[in-house]
């Protein structure tokens, strides 16, 4: 489930050239199921006409108190989350100082929920000592600032000041709408495919994209966990919000997992680890032959080893089986000392949809979702209830 679905998002747009980017941002919020209302500052309307936002949202756009003197109160009570994007340094500094001199800043003063500011500015202005001080002041109050990106700006200067990309802003909105169910928890996730090389260019691997692991990482971050991902080869887009350590082989994966184990509250072993590796790795590329005999040996069973060594870490594994899926997964759950296992058929590897069974010692739940992100949300929600029980 997308945290945006069914939520009320109040979007403030201030008077900078990046105001035109708010149009696509509002469109995306609507696309993901949010109800959106927009407040424009008077100068923002010089960049983007109110009719544009009214057409996209299906709601009236607000600029002043002309129709209702309690507009700022009504909007502040309506919103589940309040996002200002772009936020000029002028508006940012007014908010830091408690100034309410237009509808937008007055609504901020009346709002008691999660406030997110996505600044956009000339680099010199953004890094002005007074603005820096105001940013720190806002952060100490618990206000989220989605830092701008480095790039070439409308003024043709290059530096930090470009409005953060749409997906990054949406992720912060999703997090603000999610309960901090994993606050102060350290979560370690493995994902992607390992590669076992027979020579400098050839290897044994599989079709894992890493999408499931990255989706799990995103959802854990939404729930306020401290997340680290150990990733093999992946084709899915990596989330910006978590630390990622890249590895290649099963041996490298094992080393990283064991290094982090005693400092981890929740370990989700989603990586598709090659079961075998060449006994010998050639230092030079093997020449092409009509036949090639390759001697293989088993790679370490990292999940089983972690199951033996873990103390208070909650351990979740994944099982991919062609036959007798549930029984084999249940056997792995017990033999490897897991707290939970997700059993999947082979066709989910590399696919966009996801299905399988969530299995604990007490119950089995079947699930089918149109995306791995939806499955990840389901799995992590079950995991949080498992922790609290």
Residues tagged active-site: 155
Report d(CA 63, CA 359) in Å as an integer.
53
Report d(CA 225, CA 227) in Å as an integer.
6
Pick the closest to residue 33 from 61, 63, 1 (CA basis).
Answer: 1
Q: Decide: helix, strand or coil at residue 183.
A: coil
**What is the sign, positive or negative, of the torsion defined by CA atoms of 293, 294, 297, 298?**
negative
Q: For tokens 């945290």, name the residue.
A: 3
Q: Where is 136: in which H helix or E strand? A: helix 129-140
Q: Where is 252: in which H helix or E strand? A: helix 250-260
Q: How much of the chain is in helix, strand and coil states, percent to nearest 5?
A: 35, 25, 40
Q: List the structure tokens of 97.
A: 């100082």
Q: What is the Cα gyration radius of the chain?
A: 25
């Amino acid at each position: 489930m997308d945290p945006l679905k069914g939520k009320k998002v109040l979007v403030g747009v201030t008077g900078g050239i990046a105001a035109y980017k708010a149009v696509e941002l509002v469109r995306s919020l609507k696309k993901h199921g949010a109800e959106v209302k927009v407040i424009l500052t008077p100068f923002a309307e010089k960049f983007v006409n109110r009719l544009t936002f009214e057409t996209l949202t299906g709601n009236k756009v607000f600029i002043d108190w002309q129709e209702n003197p309690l507009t700022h109160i009504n909007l502040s009570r309506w919103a589940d989350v309040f996002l200002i994007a772009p936020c000029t340094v002028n508006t940012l500094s007014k908010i830091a100082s408690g100034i309410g001199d237009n509808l937008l800043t007055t609504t901020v003063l009346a709002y008691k929920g999660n406030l997110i500011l996505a600044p956009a500015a000339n680099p010199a202005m953004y890094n002005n000592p007074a603005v820096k001080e105001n940013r720190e002041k806002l952060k100490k109050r618990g206000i989220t600032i989605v830092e701008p990106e480095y790039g070439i700006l409308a003024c043709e200067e290059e530096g930090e000041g470009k409005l953060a990309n749409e997906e990054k802003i949406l992720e912060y909105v999703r997090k603000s709408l999610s309960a901090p169910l994993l606050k102060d928890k350290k979560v370690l996730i493995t994902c992607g495919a390992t590669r076992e090389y027979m020579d400098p260019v050839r290897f044994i691997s599989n079709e894992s994209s890493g999408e499931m692991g990255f989706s799990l990482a995103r959802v854990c971050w939404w729930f306020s966990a401290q997340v680290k991902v150990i990733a093999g080869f992946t084709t899915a887009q990596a989330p910006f919000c978590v630390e990622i350590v890249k590895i290649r082989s099963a041996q490298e994966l094992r080393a990283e997992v064991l290094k982090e184990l005693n400092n981890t509250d929740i370990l989700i072993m989603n990586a598709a680890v090659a079961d075998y590796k060449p006994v010998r790795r050639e230092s030079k590329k093997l020449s092409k032959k009509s036949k090639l005999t390759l001697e293989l040996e088993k790679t370490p069973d990292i999940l089983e080893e972690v199951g033996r060594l873990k103390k208070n870490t909650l351990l979740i594994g994944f099982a991919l089986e062609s036959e007798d899926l549930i029984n084999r997964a249940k056997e792995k759950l017990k033999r490897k000392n897991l707290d939970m296992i997700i059993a999947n058929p082979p066709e989910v590897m590399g696919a966009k949809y996801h299905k399988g069974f969530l299995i604990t010692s007490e119950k089995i739940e079947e699930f089918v979702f149109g995306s791995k992100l939806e499955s990840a949300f389901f799995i992590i929600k079950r995991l949080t209830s498992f922790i609290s029980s």
